[in-house]
Structure 1
Amino acid sequence: MKSLSFKTNKMVAFLILLFVSGALFAQDWQSDFEKSKQLAAAENKTIILVFQGSDWCAPCMKLEKEIWQSDEFKAYAKKHFVMQKADFPRKKANKLDDEQDIRNKELAAKYNTKGYFPFVAILDKNGKVLGETGYKKMTPKEYIDHLESFISK
Structure 2
Amino acid sequence: MKILSAFVISFLLSLAPEWKTDFASAKQEATQSHKYILLNFSGSDWCVPCIRLKKDVFETGTFQNFATEKLVLVRADFPRLSKNKLSPQQTEHNEALAEKYNPEGKFPYTLLIDANGKVVKTWDGYTNTPPEEFISQINKITNAK
TM-score (norm 2): 0.91
Matched residue SS, 1:85? strand
Q: What per-residue deviation string (whole Å, max 9, x for no partner) do you get for residues 48-80 of structure 1? A: 000011111111011000001101100100000
Q: What per-residue deviation string (whole Å, max 9, x for no partner) do you get for residues 94-139 of structure 1? A: 1100000000000000000111100011100011111111321111
Question: Between Structure 1 and Structure 2, whose CA radius of gyration is higher?
Answer: 1
TM-score (norm 1): 0.86
Q: CA deviation at 1:146?
A: 1.9
Q: 1:133 to 1:16 in 2, by over 3 A?
A: same
Matched residue SS, 1:62? helix
Could you tell me how far apart the structure 2 residues matched to 1:20 and 1:64 are? 20
Amino acid in the other structure paired with 2:131:
P
2:12 to 3, 8, 21: 21
1:118 to 86, 108, 114: 108
Q: Which runs of 5+ in 2 are unaligned?
A: none
2:84 to 94, 98, 116: 94
**Structure 2 match to 1:141:** 132
User: Does the Cα contact within 8 Å between 1:30 and 1:85 map onto a contact in 2?
Assistant: yes
Q: CA deviation at 1:15?
A: 4.1
1:107 to 97, 102, 109: 97
Matched residue SS, 2:45? coil
Could you tell me how far apart the structure 2 residues matched to 1:62 and 1:13 are? 29
Q: What per-residue deviation string (whole Å, max 9, x for no partner) do you get for residues 16-63 of structure 1? A: 444223212x23111001100010011100000000111111110110
Q: 1:13 to 1:52 in 2, by over 3 A?
A: closer
CA RMSD of aligned residues (A): 1.6
Which stretch shifts more, 87-96 or 13-22? 13-22
**Structure 2 match to 1:46:** 36
Q: 1:51 to 1:142 in 2, by over 3 A?
A: same
1:84 correspondence with 2:74: yes
Amino acid in the other structure paired with 1:136:
T
